[in-house]
Structure 1
Amino acid sequence: MQRRFYRILLSGWLLTSSITAMAQQKKHPDRPNIIFILADDLGYGNLTSFNPKSPIPTPNIDRLGAEGIRFTRFYAGNTVCAPSRCALLTGKNMGHAYIRGNTRLPLRPQDSTMAQVLQQNGYTTGMFGKWGLGEMGTTGSPEIKGFDEFYGYLNQGHAHDYYTNYLYQVKAGKIRKIPHDTSVFTHDEIMDHAYSFINENKDKPFFLYLSITIPHAELAPPQKDLQAWLNPDGSSKLGPETPYAQNGGTYRSQQYPHAAFAAMVSKLDQHVGQIQALVKQLGLDDNTYIFFTSDNGPHKEGGADPGYFNSNGPLKGLKRDLYEGGIRVPLLVRAPGHIPAGSVSDEEWAFWDILPTFSALTKSKTLKGIDGLNYAAALEGKKPVKAHDYLYWQFNEGYIQEAVLQGDWKLIRFKYKGKVERFELYNIVDDIGETKDLAAENPAKVKTLKAIMAKAKTPAENKEFDWSDTEK
């Protein structure tokens, strides 16, 4: 029913509807709508505006930057999903965030989110897709953390199944588990709820957090989407394919993993285009910011082949790395009434800056005790009033990694159990691919960045995220 309604919606809105929407929007020009689209495991090189050699065209996503601004040095909160989302929503980096690893630990009562900040300023808030910061009945459930509406997955493990028999929904302040048709690709259902949310809230300020689940594995798009990447004889348009076999893992088998991945990125691009079309049709263009980015670098799970697609572009590393390929992500922002078209910026900022930036854009309160800074000026191609002296990350999945970025220089620490720690130093401006370790040649710079690394963090409050140097 919802999909049929949306097709009717896109076929043409009555002129009076658009006029009404524009009139309503003009009543709150100081509280623009915000749509934040977060792709899952999309690499820096998976967009043609960042990597012209990408074999998958992404014209709709690229248009966000062509009609707005494209940031080439923007960073995720972490190199995996849960902590990256924690940094995004709470404004804290991995030296201070509560959730510092890929876990099902919920946010605590004292962990405020950007949704709560905007909700308190009169915004209607909706979140659709993958949450990852608390299960139903915990202190981190989405209805407790500022969302008026929600539809999707509560944890990242469940989100691996695109044909699940249940999802979760928040309505009227209540969350419930609801049945889902296992023949329907969940991403399509999630997008239908997002379209409905925009339409239903067009006459008042709204915040839409669209935490899309693709192109994360499993690589199982609907057959009609896969078919677009297959030849009439059933072979892949991307050449000979090596099938992916499940082998007891969580991801189902896929005969054409290259074609399946391409189909998922194409579907993502199409739906971003539909979001733009809907905003325009409702007359909301001049008072709506649309952000697009990814939660971390590209994955190689379930048959995904980032090498074939050049998914990290010129960068080194993938998801679970603190090299640039694991944490540097594309960011495109479109807001015709606020951002000059065709801008490109190399301003360095990160997920934890989004919350205070949204506070500034919407004239909402600013949370205290966070790591993020207001980068609203950067959206107009200007220098922020205050910029970071450095950016910091940490990741622990089998071994400890830490990274500090200060200007052109980046230091990465590796500590494996039973082995001496190792440091690597790169000039990421001269060497964007981090091909030459300069640590031995620059001991003074290593010493400086090691000191920053030491002061950038506090002990983790939960023992799951023990970043100490003691052997375990």
Structure 2
Amino acid sequence: MLTGCAMLAVMLVQGQQRKPNIIFILADDLGYGNVSAYNSKSPVRTPNIDRLGQEGIRFTDFYAGTTVCAPSRCALLTGKHMGHAYIRGNTRLPLRTQDSTVAQLLQQNGYRTGMFGKWGLGEAGTTGSPEVKGFDAFYGYLNQQHAHNYYTDYLFELKEGQIRKVPRDTSIYTQDEIQQHALTFIRANKDKPFFLFLPFTLPHAELAPPTADMQPFLHEDGSSKLGPETPYERKKGTYRNQPLPHAAFAAMVSKLDRNVGEIVALVKQLGLDNNTYIFFTSDNGPHKEGGGDPVFFDSNGPLKGVKRDLYEGGIRVPMLVRAPGKVSAGQVSSIQWAFWDILPTLTTLTHSATLSGIDGLSYVEALNGNKPARQHDYFYWQFNEGGLQEVVLQEDWKLIRFKQRGSAERFELYHLSDDIGEVHDLAAEYPQKVKALAKLMKASKSPAAHTEFDWSAVEQ
């Protein structure tokens, strides 16, 4: 029989060997400047999100997979940028059988895997459905169009290996149910390693939060504390009318922040905080749909552009990582990395098998505040709605290419360390730099595997 001291020693060794838990929170259309840690002028404070960086590390130069939902999430989960990913645009196409995800890799390493929120990479019965892409539990939306409705009469749930459509009370805000599923998952798996992916829908339109969430932003007479409001009236699409869009958006950001705080509090309450990494980021830049007003909220901070742009405001996103005991508190890092680095970073962090043939690199050293031994020489993005936009970023030099069908290509060149707002186009002054980066751009992409993302038509 072990003595008390010997038993303690065994427990300590076992605790050291236990695989770390991973909670990855992905906001939807939250701008770089919507997090107050990145923007002191933001009219909505985000103290709980800010605290992740205060207790861990905040990255200033982190990038989404691209500037809209589905392809950005594809890059995040598969480790491939838009030059090689299967899904390169907003679509309802599913991931293929051969498109492995980080959830599958962690699941194969003994992790209990859960996802609650918006998936967007495959519907029930397809090769991209959550249960075949590595998740043991799921509750939420399968496609992004359905996720525009926060009061839908159904969602999808994964139970006993099967995805089922489940009816729900339309008086309840979907985010409230999604949050409760997330908290329940943490409680149920506190004694085993888990990977919790939380692709929340906040603060994506529609701007229709519960009345209780809007109250802090309203005067007693029901008017907005954020000043005169211009009502949003639906002209097309599915978003409902919103008489107070500024107050509604503020309420959604504030609710997102509270939900993050509840997750962190539960992790601490369960004694998991010294073995749990909590990541927080956004899938792309801020939206201006359904009454969204990125100008009023200074949603991109010092950056130019919003969702659907490849300027910095469309692709540079907040990234805060909390891991007490593993990251010195309050660090700020300007290391450049991107969504496609998440897969190899998490597999390295969890000692899981990883994938060959991906674009991502492990940035585990960056999570500890150190410079990674291996970093990208350059980064590549693509966006192909209504024409082709491409970007190559190499250190501080950023080249953007625009190509419309039947017209000549056009380039813009920026030096970000001197011009983070991308005000001064230097393409005419540095033609050799344009030529060199355009060569990298061409080498960064392979032909799209699906005709929906084939750029050859606009190259004519």
- The normalised TM-score by structure 2 is 0.96
* 1:143 partnered with 2:128: no
Which sits farther off after the overlay, 411-420 or 138-147? 411-420
Partner of 1:283: 271
Map residues 35-434 of structure 1 onto 2, 5 A cutoff. Answer: 35-434=23-422
Residue 165 of structure 2 aligns to which amino acid in structure 1? K
Q: Output the CA distance in 2 between the equivalents of 1:93 and 1:112.
A: 14
Deviation at 1:31, TM superposition (A): 1.2
2:440 to 442, 448, 452: 452
Q: Output the CA distance in 1 between the equivalents of 2:162 and 2:310.
A: 38
Residue 410 of structure 1 aligns to which amino acid in structure 2? K
Deviation at 1:418, TM superposition (A): 2.1
Helix, strand or coil: the match of 2:132? Answer: coil
RMSD: 1.2
Question: Per-residue displacement from partner, 1:318-368 (whole Å, max 9, x unpaired)?
Answer: 000000000000000000021110000000000000000001110011111
Asked if the contact 1:245/1:254 (under 8 Å) is kept, the reply is yes
Alignment CA distance shift 1:176-1:346 (3 Å): same
Asked if the contact 2:391/2:401 (under 8 Å) is kept, the reply is yes
**Unaligned 5+ residue runs, structure 2?**
1-10
Asked if the contact 1:394/1:403 (under 8 Å) is kept, the reply is yes
Question: Per-residue displacement from partner, 1:169-224 (whole Å, max 9, x unpaired)?
Answer: 00121110000111110000000000000000000000000000000000000011
Alignment CA distance shift 1:50-1:374 (3 Å): same
Deviation at 1:246, TM superposition (A): 1.2
Residue 448 of structure 2 aligns to which amino acid in structure 1? A
Q: Output the CA distance in 1 between the equivalents of 2:273 and 2:198.
A: 18
Q: Output the CA distance in 1 between the equivalents of 2:455 and 2:433.
A: 23
- The normalised TM-score by structure 1 is 0.94
Helix, strand or coil: the match of 2:452? Answer: helix
Helix, strand or coil: the match of 1:84? Answer: helix
Corresponding pairs, count: 450
Q: Output the CA distance in 1 between the equivalents of 2:319 and 2:219.
A: 33
* 1:462 partnered with 2:413: no
Q: Output the CA distance in 2 between the equivalents of 1:85 and 1:182.
A: 27
Q: Output the CA distance in 2 between the equivalents of 1:397 and 1:459.
A: 17
Asked if the contact 2:23/2:278 (under 8 Å) is kept, the reply is yes
Asked if the contact 2:63/2:316 (under 8 Å) is kept, the reply is yes
Residue 388 of structure 1 aligns to which amino acid in structure 2? H
Asked if the contact 2:94/2:122 (under 8 Å) is kept, the reply is yes
Q: Output the CA distance in 1 between the equivalents of 2:221 and 2:361.
A: 54
Residue 159 of structure 1 aligns to which amino acid in structure 2? A
Deviation at 1:26, TM superposition (A): 4.8
Deviation at 1:470, TM superposition (A): 4.4
Percent of aligned pairs with the same residue? 72
Helix, strand or coil: the match of 1:261? Answer: helix
Q: Output the CA distance in 1 between the equivalents of 2:236 and 2:446.
A: 39
Alignment CA distance shift 1:166-1:24 (3 Å): farther
Q: Output the CA distance in 1 between the equivalents of 2:214 and 2:406.
A: 46
Alignment CA distance shift 1:24-1:238 (3 Å): farther
Helix, strand or coil: the match of 1:330? Answer: strand
Question: Per-residue displacement from partner, 1:213-263 (whole Å, max 9, x unpaired)?
Answer: 000000000011112210001110000000000123210000000000000
Helix, strand or coil: the match of 1:183? Answer: coil
* Structure 1 consecutive aligned stretches of length 4 or more whose deviation exceeds 3 Å: 23-30, 469-472
Alignment CA distance shift 1:149-1:28 (3 Å): farther
